[in-house]
């Protein structure tokens, strides 16, 4: 039997197809202004990859901000789906830190893997991938460069502004003062991490802690996160598909009888 | 919080709770007095600060926390040591680490949109770095957000908060109301500590100090006179609020007056400003920018004397009137009238306010303030930002606005 | 005479006793355009909407407006309004933030002042006013007491304007017992729409908003006709009413907790307006003290973030279902 999960986010759309045992296919593509259309496109691509048709899908769950536009059997919030998806890879996970392009979430899980509490920041760029992107333009670097630069940094600089507009201005001043690119890159990464950890601090940081979302691929952020947490967060093999995977996993749970 | 910060915090907390260590500061104070028998103004302030730290943290007497407009004369008269968290937070910001208590408060569900003085005060209390209070006293005058702040402190320190509710207008009923509340609080405090209730000495010191403050104001009214650097007077807030009614405040202002009388270089700056509300206390470029554009600050609203001389024969009535009078800083018609008078008396040609992000009462009045003052011919500069939370500070934006204001005044 | 008011600590009985009609101010429009020049950005959105209505809709056929409230925004709203429209009869009622003998006495005095001002418009004597008030208190007491008792047992969840509709819906809904019971805490405005949204998400909603519990529920209300009518009224509103955010947090917590336990509330949804200090402190207190899940949802009294609300509400529902 086959189950599908669709995550329509503001920046990317993902479909994951699973059977009783494994991931059969996964597709990730940029979102568009038409969530319904992009959802269907992504689903068709994923089905094509797995050599399946729509009728093969036993149960289909949609998640993400565009979930209500999708024609799915059920719509579930990305909080629950993200948590479930993380558990596919790391069943013992107790906390999820998800930093996406435009929002960030912290999810606290109980011992049974169920969501106990959550926090979201989807109102401002601080603590999201967007902040990192905006600052790459000021620093004249690529997003992938953060990892190398953070490791080269020697001087501690703190950005006092979390607002992206103010931070940009502050960064320009620091460049004008002759501060090194690597030190500024570290300051930018630190700003994002501190923001998310302030949010996370409203719950209690619990291990094992799993880091997901597009920003989980950013080496600079991973380095700073390790320093601030004083331990290494776990990162799933593909941190971008966890919400869609979680949706598919839930679809499977709802279809198969309990063991 | 990372390991380094966490360790530093634990150490700070360890020392902050060691009363006996602070008793040793008395030796340092004695040594300072011996070394500087005729202290300068900065040295005077430094010595008084060391003494206050010693008294507060060694808990030599009961410690009473109060809100900014709760009259400290009351606390001195009952024989306790006043601690004003809102003032001390300014010092924490000046030392450059207000971000820590602010972040910690936010983690404990105190929103970023709340006043940063209060948030940071909560944060420092959660850290247990401030001296433990024996009593919490607050008024609702000026700002009702203070009530929420002190109620939060009550939960953190697990002691009750005594809140004085303050009406906006000075009527006989209002005076009676506030007076009765003060009297009730005195009864409650007296039942728990041995109160001296020395109104005579405290009020006499307060009144004498106010006379010196008026003498300083007379100096500042001179056309070529200005305290340098601009906004420096706001660094002396503890003497206007926390120490008033104690020998320390009188001594400080005597020194301050002496210092100002000796100043030889008159100001050549062409623009004289009345400063409203407080200022950003974290390290910033505001003073440098004001100097760069030749601005003097000739008077500060929060250093103004808004009450009548205190009468020891009618202590509660006097203090009640002082508390209600503080509403003159928030009731628009009264506040604006006072500002206009200052503009005239201090020969100011402009007014400036550095907005406090979470301060609804002052920001809520900005339209009326600017509108009325500008109609009377006084340009007003309202700077957006925060006094304690550096997240809201932008040097470039500050420079642009000050420069533009300068051009307005030049024109 | 139509007398507008918006704070639940302003007794409508005072207005009725002066032979005037109380008009609880809310606005169909959420526009703030006219208010924006006068109020700063970080400021209560309710105040902006209210000011906008008062300026734009020519005072909504009101003859008199009573301002009040325990917050700085409420006071500044009054200050701005009287500066912009000095000819409109209005009054600011000081609401004490504390509840003790002294504040009760002062609040009673303030109510008397308010009454005198209204009476001067109506040409009614003080004697007649007190007589009217006594009759109204007699009538009002029975209603308030019954509703309070019913509310605390969950039989009649509040006396919201909506409750007739909601009760009817509930009686038709045979699956009501399977729905998750939540307590909605919210301030003025928006409440109907929020309740509708929550009901669509399959919650059974108990209305703890300003238009629900806070106006009509007086848990320990007492009435002794021989006491002076104004003393009784002052006591009802300052002491017996469920405290709003910012007033007596401990008592507020006790009443909420009692209600939650009696009715079996499974979660709280707190829809709080941005920049509302009273709500922010209330939220920080309740979040730590109340033992059931609490979902905070910030809003600016517009629907711009409805997608974000839905995500949070959906997730909250999923959390509660899994418990």
Same domain, C93 and C12: yes
- The answer as to whether C141 is a domain residue is no
Q: Do the strands A74-75 and A12-18 form a parallel or antiparallel pair, or are they unpaired? A: unpaired
- The answer as to whether C256 is a domain residue is yes
CATH number for C214: 3.40.50.11900
User: Which of A132, A120, A80 has its CA nearest to residue A253?
Assistant: A80
CB contact under 8 Å between B163 and C97, yes or no, is yes
CA distance B1 to C150: 48
- The closest CB to that of A77, out of C293, C305, C315, belongs to C315
Does residue B229 carry a pLDDT above 70?
yes
Same domain, C170 and C61: no
Structural domain ending residue among the three candidates B132, B158, B190 = B190
CATH number for C18: 3.40.50.11890
Find the mean pLDDT for residues B53-61. 91
Does residue C60 carry a pLDDT above 70?
no
CB contact under 8 Å between B397 and A169, yes or no, is yes
Tell me if C186 sits within 8 A of C209, measured CB to CB.
Answer: yes
Give the A window 101-120 contacts with C, CB below 8 Å: 114-118, 120
CA distances from A52 to A14, A23, A252, C37 (A): 17, 13, 17, 60
Instruction: Name the E strands within A201-244.
Output: 209-212
Tell me if C244 sits within 8 A of C69, measured CB to CB.
Answer: no
- String of DSSP letters for A17-66: EE-SSSEEEEEEEE--S-HHHHHHHHHHHHHHHTT--GGGEEEEEEESTT
Residues B93-96: contacts with CB under 8 Å, at least 24 apart: B93/B120, B93/B280, B93/B281, B93/B282, B93/B387, B93/B388, B93/B390, B94/B281, B94/B282, B94/B283, B96/B282, B96/B283
Tell me if B287 sits within 8 A of B312, measured CB to CB.
Answer: no
Of the pLDDT bands very low, low, confident and very high (cuts 50, 70, 90), residue B394 is confident
Of the pLDDT bands very low, low, confident and very high (cuts 50, 70, 90), residue C158 is very low
For residue range B356-368, list pLDDT tens digits in order.
Answer: 999 999 999 999 9
Same domain, B141 and B208: no
Q: Residue B164: which residues within 8 A CB-CB, separation 6 or more?
A: B70, B137, B138, B139, B140, B141, B178, B181, B182, B185, B323
Q: Give the gap in angstroms from C-alpha C245 to the nearest C-alpha of chain B.
A: 9
Same domain, B282 and B221: yes
Does residue C159 carry a pLDDT above 50?
no
- pLDDT at position C16 is 95
Same domain, B136 and B226: no
Does residue C162 carry a pLDDT above 50?
no
Same domain, B295 and B155: no
Nearest residue in chain A measured CA to CA from C294:
A117
Same domain, C172 and C316: yes
- B295 lies in which domain range? 199-410
Q: Provide the CA B265 distance to its chain's centre, in angstroms.
A: 28
Number of domains present in the structure of chain B? 2
Chain C residues touching residue A120 (CB < 8 angstroms): 308, 311-312
CATH number for B286: 3.40.50.11900
Q: Which residue has the higher pLDDT, A39 or C60?
A: A39
∠ CA A181-A186-A191, rounded to 5°: 125
Phi and psi at residue C143, to the nearest 5°: -65, -50
Same domain, B295 and B257: yes
Which of A138, A166, A186 to mutate: most B Cβ within 10 Å?
Answer: A166
CB contact under 8 Å between B174 and C96, yes or no, is no
Chain B residues touching residue C278 (CB < 8 angstroms): 148
Chain B residues touching residue C70 (CB < 8 angstroms): 144, 147
- The answer as to whether C148 is a domain residue is no
- The answer as to whether C164 is a domain residue is yes
Superfamily name and number for A92-235: ATPase, nucleotide binding domain (3.30.420.40)
- The answer as to whether C83 is a domain residue is yes
Same domain, B60 and B83: yes
Chain C residues touching residue A122 (CB < 8 angstroms): 308, 311
Q: Across chain B, what does the average pLDDT equal?
A: 93
Same domain, B213 and B80: no
- pLDDT at position A259 is 56
CATH number for B152: 3.40.50.11890
Tell me if A124 sits within 8 A of A163, measured CB to CB.
Answer: yes
Structural domain ending residue among the three candidates B190, B222, B252 = B190
Same domain, C167 and C125: no
Structure tokens at C91: 């009054």
Q: Across chain C, what does the average pLDDT equal?
A: 87
Q: Is residue C44 within 8 angstroms of chain B, CB to CB? A: yes
Nearest residue in chain B measured CA to CA from C285:
B152
CB contact under 8 Å between C246 and B114, yes or no, is no
Chain A residues touching residue C307 (CB < 8 angstroms): 65
CB contact under 8 Å between A160 and B390, yes or no, is yes
Same domain, B279 and B405: yes
All chains having 3 or more CB pairs closer than 8 angstroms to chain A: B, C
Show me where the domains of chain A are located.
1-90+238-259, 92-235
Q: Residue A33: which residues within 8 A CB-CB, separation 6 or more?
A: none
Q: Residue B176: which residues within 8 A CB-CB, separation 6 or more?
A: B320
CB contact under 8 Å between A166 and B392, yes or no, is yes
Tell me if B393 sits within 8 A of B385, measured CB to CB.
Answer: yes
- pLDDT at position C209 is 84
Share of chain A above pLDDT 70, in %: 99
CA distance C273 to C290: 20
Q: Is residue A54 within 8 angstroms of chain C, CB to CB? A: no
Same domain, C213 and C290: yes
Same domain, C99 and C166: no
CA distance B24 to A91: 56
CA distance B320 to B314: 10
Same domain, C35 and C74: yes
Chain A residues touching residue C293 (CB < 8 angstroms): 117
For residue range B267-298, list pLDDT tens digits in order.
Answer: 878 899 999 999 999 999 999 999 999 999 99
Same domain, C171 and C103: no
Q: Across chain A, what does the average pLDDT equal?
A: 92
Q: Which helix (H) or strand (E) holds C314?
A: helix C306-321
Number of domains present in the structure of chain C? 2
Nearest residue in chain B measured CA to CA from C104:
B177
Instruction: Name the E strands within B73-207.
Output: 81-83, 135-139, 161-164
User: Which of A200, A8, A29 has its CA nearest to residue A104?
Assistant: A200
Structural domain ending residue among the three candidates B155, B190, B225 = B190
Q: How many contacts, defined by CB atoms under 8 Å, are there between A and C? A: 40
Tell me if C147 sits within 8 A of C255, measured CB to CB.
Answer: no
Tell me if A29 sits within 8 A of A41, measured CB to CB.
Answer: yes
Same domain, C126 and C257: no
Find the mean pLDDT for residues C129-155. 86
Q: Residue B85: which residues within 8 A CB-CB, separation 6 or more?
A: B65, B117, B121, B124, B125, B130, B153
- String of DSSP letters for C87-127: TS-EEEEE--SS-SHHHHHHHHHHHHHHHHHHHHHHT--HH
For residue range A120-165, list pLDDT tens digits in order.
Answer: 887 788 888 999 999 999 999 999 999 999 999 999 998 887 787 7
Does residue B4 carry a pLDDT above 80?
no
- pLDDT at position C154 is 67
Find the mean pLDDT for residues B74-79. 95
Spell out the CATH class of A1-90+238-259.
alpha beta
Tell me if C122 sits within 8 A of C20, measured CB to CB.
Answer: yes
- pLDDT at position C4 is 93
- C166 lies in which domain range? 156-321
Tell me if A159 sits within 8 A of A134, measured CB to CB.
Answer: no
- pLDDT at position C213 is 67
Find the mean pLDDT for residues B93-97. 94
Instruction: Tell whether pTM > 0.80.
Output: yes
Q: Give the gap in angstroms from C-alpha A202 to the nearest C-alpha of chain C.
A: 10
Same domain, B186 and B206: no
């Amino acid at each position: 039997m086959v189950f599908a999960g669709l995550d329509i986010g503001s920046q990317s759309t993902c479909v994951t197809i699973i059977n009783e045992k494994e991931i059969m296919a996964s597709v990730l593509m940029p979102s568009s202004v038409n969530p319904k259309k992009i959802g269907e496109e992504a689903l068709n691509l994923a089905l094509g990859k797995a050599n399946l048709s729509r009728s093969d899908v036993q149960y289909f769950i949609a998640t993400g901000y565009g979930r209500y536009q999708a024609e799915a059997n059920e719509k579930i919030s990305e909080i629950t789906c993200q948590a479930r998806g993380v558990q596919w890879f790391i069943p013992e996970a107790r906390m999820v830190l998800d930093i996406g392009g435009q929002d960030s979430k912290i999810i606290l899980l109980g011992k049974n893997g169920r969501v106990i509490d959550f926090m979201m920041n989807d109102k401002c760029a601080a603590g999201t991938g967007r902040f990192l992107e905006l600052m790459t333009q000021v620093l004249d670097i690529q997003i992938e460069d953060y990892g190398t630069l953070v490791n080269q940094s020697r001087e501690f600089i703190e950005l006092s502004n979390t607002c992206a507009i103010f931070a940009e201005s502050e960064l320009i001043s620091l460049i004008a003062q002759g501060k090194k690119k690597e030190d500024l890159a570290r300051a930018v990464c630190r700003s994002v991490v501190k923001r998310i950890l302030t949010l996370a601090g409203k719950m209690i940081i619990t291990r094992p802690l799993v880091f997901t979302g597009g920003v989980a691929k950013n080496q600079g952020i991973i380095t700073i996160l390790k320093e601030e947490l004083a331990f290494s967060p776990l990162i799933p093999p593909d941190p971008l598909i966890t919400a869609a995977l979680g949706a598919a996993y839930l679809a499977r749970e709802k279809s198969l009888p309990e063991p | 919080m990372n390991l380094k910060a966490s360790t530093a915090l634990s150490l700070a907390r360890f020392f902050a709770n060691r009363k006996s260590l602070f008793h040793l500061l008395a030796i340092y104070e004695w040594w300072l007095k011996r070394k500087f028998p005729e202290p300068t103004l900065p040295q005077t302030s430094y010595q008084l600060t060391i003494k206050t730290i010693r008294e507060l943290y060694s808990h030599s007497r009961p410690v009473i926390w109060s809100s900014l407009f709760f009259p400290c004369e009351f606390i001195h008269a009952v024989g306790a040591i006043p601690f004003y968290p809102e003032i001390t937070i300014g010092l924490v910001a000046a030392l450059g680490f207000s971000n820590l208590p602010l972040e910690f408060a936010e983690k404990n569900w105190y929103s970023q949109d709340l006043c940063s003085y209060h948030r940071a005060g909560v944060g420092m209390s959660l850290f247990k770095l401030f001296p433990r209070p024996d009593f919490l006293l607050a008024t609702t005058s000026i700002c009702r957000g203070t009530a929420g702040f002190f109620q939060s402190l009550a939960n953190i320190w697990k002691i009750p908060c005594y809140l004085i509710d303050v009406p906006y207008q000075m009527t006989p009923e209002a005076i009676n109301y506030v007076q009765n509340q003060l009297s009730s609080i005195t009864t409650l405090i007296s039942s728990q500590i041995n109160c001296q209730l020395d109104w005579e000495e405290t009020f006499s010191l307060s009144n004498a100090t106010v006379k010196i403050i008026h003498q300083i104001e007379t100096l500042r009214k001179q056309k070529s006179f200005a305290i340098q650097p601009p906004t420096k007077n706001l660094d002396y807030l503890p003497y206007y609020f926390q120490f008033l009614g104690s020998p320390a405040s009188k001594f400080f202002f005597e020194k301050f007056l002496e210092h100002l009388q000796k100043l030889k270089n008159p100001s050549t700056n062409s623009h004289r400003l009345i400063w409203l509300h407080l200022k950003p206390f974290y390290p910033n470029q505001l003073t440098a920018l004001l100097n760069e554009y030749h601005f003097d600050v000739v008077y500060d609203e929060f250093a103004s004397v808004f009450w009548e001389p205190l009468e020891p024969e009618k202590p509660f009535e006097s203090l009640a009137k002082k508390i209600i009078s503080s509403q003159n800083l928030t009731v628009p018609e009264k506040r604006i009238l006072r500002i206009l008078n200052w503009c005239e008396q201090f020969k100011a040609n402009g007014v400036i306010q550095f907005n406090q992000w979470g301060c609804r009462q002052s920001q809520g009045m900005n339209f009326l303030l600017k509108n009325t003052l500008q109609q009377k011919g006084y340009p007003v500069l309202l700077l957006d930002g925060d006094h304690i939370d550096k997240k809201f500070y932008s040097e470039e934006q500050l420079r642009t606005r000050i420069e533009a204001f300068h051009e307005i005044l030049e024109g | 005479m139509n007398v507008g008011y918006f704070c639940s600590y302003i007794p409508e009985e005072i207005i009725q006793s002066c032979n005037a009609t109380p008009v609880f101010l809310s606005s169909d429009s959420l526009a703030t355009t006219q208010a924006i020049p006068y109020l700063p950005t970080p400021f209560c959105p309710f105040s902006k909407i209210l000011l906008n209505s008062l300026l734009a809709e020519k005072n909504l056929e009101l003859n008199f407006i009573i301002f009040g409230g325990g917050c700085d925004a409420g006071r500044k709203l009054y200050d701005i309004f009287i500066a912009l429209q000095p000819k409109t009869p209005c009054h600011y009622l000081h609401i004490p933030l504390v509840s003790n003998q002294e504040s009760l006495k002062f609040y009673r005095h303030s109510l008397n002042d308010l009454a005198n001002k209204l009476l001067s418009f109506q040409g009614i004597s003080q004697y007649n006013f007190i007589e009217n008030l006594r009759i109204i208190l007699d009538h009002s007491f029975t209603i308030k007491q019954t509703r309070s008792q019913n509310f605390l047992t969950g039989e009649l969840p509040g006396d919201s304007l909506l409750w007739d509709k909601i009760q009817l819906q509930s009686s038709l809904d045979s699956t009501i017992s399977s729905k998750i019971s939540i307590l909605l805490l919210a301030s003025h405005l928006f409440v109907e729409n929020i309740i509708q949204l929550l009901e669509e998400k399959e919650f059974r909603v108990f209305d703890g908003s300003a238009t629900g519990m806070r106006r009509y529920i007086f848990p320990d209300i007492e009435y002794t006709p021989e006491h002076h009518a104004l003393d009784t009224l002052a006591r009802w509103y300052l002491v017996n009413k469920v405290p709003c955010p910012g007033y007596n947090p401990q008592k507020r917590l006790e009443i909420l907790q009692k209600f939650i336990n009696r009715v079996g509330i499974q979660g709280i949804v707190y829809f709080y307006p941005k920049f509302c200090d009273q709500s922010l402190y209330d939220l920080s207190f309740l979040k730590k003290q109340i033992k059931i899940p609490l979902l905070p949802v910030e809003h600016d009294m517009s629907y711009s973030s409805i997608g974000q609300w839905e995500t949070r509400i959906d997730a909250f529902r999923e959390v509660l279902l899994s418990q």
